[in-house]
Amino acid sequence: MIFGYARVSSKNQSLARQLQELKEYGCDRIYQEKQSAKDFDRPIYKEMRSKMRFGDVLVVHDLSRFGRNKQEIKEEWESIIEEEIDIVVLNMPILDTRKYKELEGVGQLVSDLVLTLLSWMVEEERTRIKTAQREGIEIAKKQGKFRGGKKRYHKGAYGKDKVLYDEVVRSLNENVSVMDIHRKTGLSRNTIYSIKQENENT
């Protein structure tokens, strides 16, 4: 049986192109999900894998449909191959494990080389996106457009957060060092400095 797997990372992304390609390829069953690629703990993917057997074929649009971590991609690929299930990556025709069945060792060599290269590229792209996001946040901060997450420790806090906030303020007023407050309360030094700055401003 030919299984098709389509995935995007967020709910506002479209699966239409991947689904169309998988249908045109002739997949017997197509599984789709909108789930982050941080790991393989995805319900639809797990369901599909539980139904795959010796001699089946798994078809994906590109390698990143597997995930974003090169080690996890490699391990998942090897696990599928060990079960004697073939893999086809549509946008990289060389990654079709059925082509090398008669050439002992060649299929493994090709898969290892290409998989190592492509999984590295996938991880590099993920790193590039994260770097771009960080740079965007820094620019927004400089322009005064980024406010970050909601502060947890502040004058209007409640419960334990307010108790910790008051303790930090009291300690600061008694000239206790930030490091000693950090050791005593367990709050990060950045949080303590933030409270200190807020207290000084008011």
Taking all residues of the chain, what is their mean pLDDT, rounded to a whole number? 80
Q: Are residues 68 and 165 in the same domain?
A: no
- How many structural domains compose the chain? 2
Q: Is residue 138 part of a domain?
A: no
> For the chain, how far is it from start to end, CA to CA, in angstroms?
69
pTM: 0.55
For position 118, what pLDDT does the model report?
61
Structure tokens at 123: 């991880």
Range of the domain at 110: 2-128
d(CA 96, CA 130): 31
Domain for residue 153, yes or no?
no
SS3 58: strand
pLDDT score at 94: 76
Residue 33: the pLDDT is 92
pLDDT in tens, 76-123: 888 888 898 999 989 888 788 887 766 665 556 666 666 666 656 666
CATH number at residue 94: 3.40.50.1390
Q: Return the pLDDT at 22.
A: 96
| Residue 94 maps to a domain | yes
pLDDT for the residue numbered 117: 66
Whether 170 is in a domain gets the answer: yes
CB of 75 closer than 8 Å to CB of 39: no
Residue 164 located in a structural domain: yes
